[in-house]
């Protein structure tokens, strides 16, 4: 669900392709079968697969990037959660959300400049995220990227997003280290 909110269409297609590949028995993993399950043309499936291969080289370095035949790739070396995290962390919409939530003095203009994207492009890409926030009774500031609304709703939404995206794959916060939390919990127990 959050993939549709944070990712661009091409990344959603790669994510969907990997979920189909991971759901198939190894003997059924071929582009024709995948294209029929995704309801894409063979050519579109091939193009998405080539883009997926490029990403897999970054996510799972032990997958041989010179393997271009889908049948010879060991997809057990990559998890859906790891790939989703990779895609979302590289999404400008998620980066804007994270920036607005974790920066001391966030600025829409600074974020746009740092990420080489215009304000209008960022606003357009954030349309689905704004609709998502409405479900929590929240809004995002056009000047600071801060989430505005009831504090409990902000916390609930942030918990939901971070847990769904990171799913225990890695620690999501830079401001506080995971072992610091473990120590605090240890002292409280």
Cα–Cα dist 145/138, whole Å:
12
Q: Report how far Cα 96 is from the mean position of its chain's Cα atoms.
A: 12
Number of residues that this document lists for the chain:
189
- What is the reported pLDDT for 154? 97
User: Would you give the end-to-end CA distance of the chain in angstroms?
Assistant: 36
- Helix axis angle, 42-59 relative to 80-89, nearest 10°? 90
Question: Residue 182 corresponds to which tokens in the numbers above?
Answer: 């473990």
- What is the reported pLDDT for 5? 95
Cα–Cα dist 29/152, whole Å:
45
Give residues with Cβ within 8 angstroms of 15, minimum separation 6: 3, 7, 80, 83, 84, 87
Cα–Cα dist 111/131, whole Å:
21
Residue holding tokens 């193009």? 47
Per-residue pLDDT of the chain (189 residues; tens, 9 = 90+): 799 999 999 999 999 999 999 999 988 999 999 999 999 999 999 999 999 999 998 998 887 767 778 888 888 888 999 999 999 999 999 999 999 999 889 999 999 999 999 989 999 999 999 999 999 999 999 899 999 999 999 999 999 999 999 988 887 877 777 677 677 777 776
- What is the reported pLDDT for 167? 85
Question: Residue 57 corresponds to which tokens in the numbers above?
Answer: 């080289």
* Cβ atoms of residues 21 and 29 within 8 Å: yes
Q: H/E element holding 139?
A: strand 139-140
* Cβ atoms of residues 59 and 78 within 8 Å: yes
């Amino acid at each position: 669900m959050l993939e549709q909110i944070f990712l661009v269409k091409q990344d959603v297609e790669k994510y969907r392709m990997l979920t189909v590949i991971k759901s198939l028995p190894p003997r059924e993993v071929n582009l024709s079968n995948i294209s029929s399950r995704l309801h894409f043309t063979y050519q579109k499936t091939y193009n998405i697969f080539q883009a997926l291969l490029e990403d897999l080289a970054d996510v799972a370095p032990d997958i041989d990037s010179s393997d271009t035949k889908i049948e010879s790739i060991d997809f057990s070396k990559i998890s859906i959660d790891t790939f989703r995290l990779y895609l979302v962390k590289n999404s400008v919409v998620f980066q804007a959300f994270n920036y607005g939530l974790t920066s001391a003095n966030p600025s829409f203009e600074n974020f746009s400049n740092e990420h080489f994207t215009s304000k209008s492009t960022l606003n357009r890409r954030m349309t689905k995220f704004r609709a998502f926030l409405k479900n929590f009774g929240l809004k995002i500031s056009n000047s600071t990227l801060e989430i505005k609304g009831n504090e409990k709703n902000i916390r609930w939404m942030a918990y939901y997003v971070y847990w769904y995206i990171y799913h225990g794959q890695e620690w999501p916060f830079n401001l506080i280290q995971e072992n610091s939390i473990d120590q605090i919990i240890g002292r409280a127990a």
